[in-house]
Amino acid sequence: MEENDQLPQSESRSAKKRDAKSIEQLARDLVELPDAELARLPVPSSLMQVLMQTRQTKGHGSRKRQLKFFAGLLRKDAEQTEELRAYVAGDHQSQRDENRLTHQLEQMREKLCAPDSRTAAFSEARELLPRLDVIELQRLLNGYRGADDKKNYRQIFRCLRAASDAGHEE
């Protein structure tokens, strides 16, 4: 009886299947990454070749088989798999943060371009973006001529974006 208590507990069959499914999902996520993000992936060249081959596979059955092969390679190196999971999870979070920031800057631009809320929005922008080029923004706002003035509209956003980026670099 005491011998049974000392035997190491192996992972259950269901847990192994769940782990395999999660690695297959990771492989799918990696295959579906855009080219720009794919170039930044921290993977060895051998895995990158299989990943590229999987991306190029067209047929449903052959693509599924290739995905399982790629997932099998990922399963062999647990450390690499965890690194890729962290990259994919972190990258998606950074993309959401970037989108949120872009939307906030767009809303701020809308307020700045509306004549009735310009003063309040200008002081809010100065508060939120300490690196804001106030003189340049004031010049752009004075030159803004309404909804048809697309050039100044874009320039105002670029000014806000530059101030936001400068604030995050510090």
Domain ranges of the chain: 12-76, 98-169
Q: pTM surpassing 0.75?
A: no
Statement: residue 111 has pLDDT above 50: yes
CA-based Rg of the chain, rounded to a whole angstrom?
Answer: 25
Query: Which of 4-18, 23-37, 38-52, 126-140 bottoms out in mean pLDDT, i.e. has the lowest?
Result: 4-18
Statement: residue 2 has pLDDT above 70: no
CATH of domain 12-76: 1.10.60
Query: Of 39-48, 74-83, 117-126, which one has max mean pLDDT?
Result: 117-126
pLDDT of residue 6: 56
CA distances (Å), origin 50, targets 43, 47, 70, 89: 11, 5, 7, 21
Tokens for 57? 């596979």
Residue that wins the pLDDT comparison between 93 and 158: 158
Residue that wins the pLDDT comparison between 147 and 76: 76
Asked if 73 contacts 47 with a C-beta cutoff of 8 angstroms, the reply is yes
pLDDT band at 39 (very low <50, low <70, confident <90, very high): confident
Statement: residue 149 has pLDDT above 90: no
Asked if 81 contacts 26 with a C-beta cutoff of 8 angstroms, the reply is yes
pLDDT of residue 1: 45
Query: Which of 3-7, 53-57, 137-141, 145-149 bottoms out in mean pLDDT, i.e. has the lowest?
Result: 3-7
What's the DSSP call for residue 146? S
Euclidean distance between CA atoms 60 and 108, whole angstroms? 46
pLDDT of residue 147: 81
How many angstroms separate the most distant Cα atoms in the chain? 86
- Mean pLDDT, residues 154-169 taken together: 85
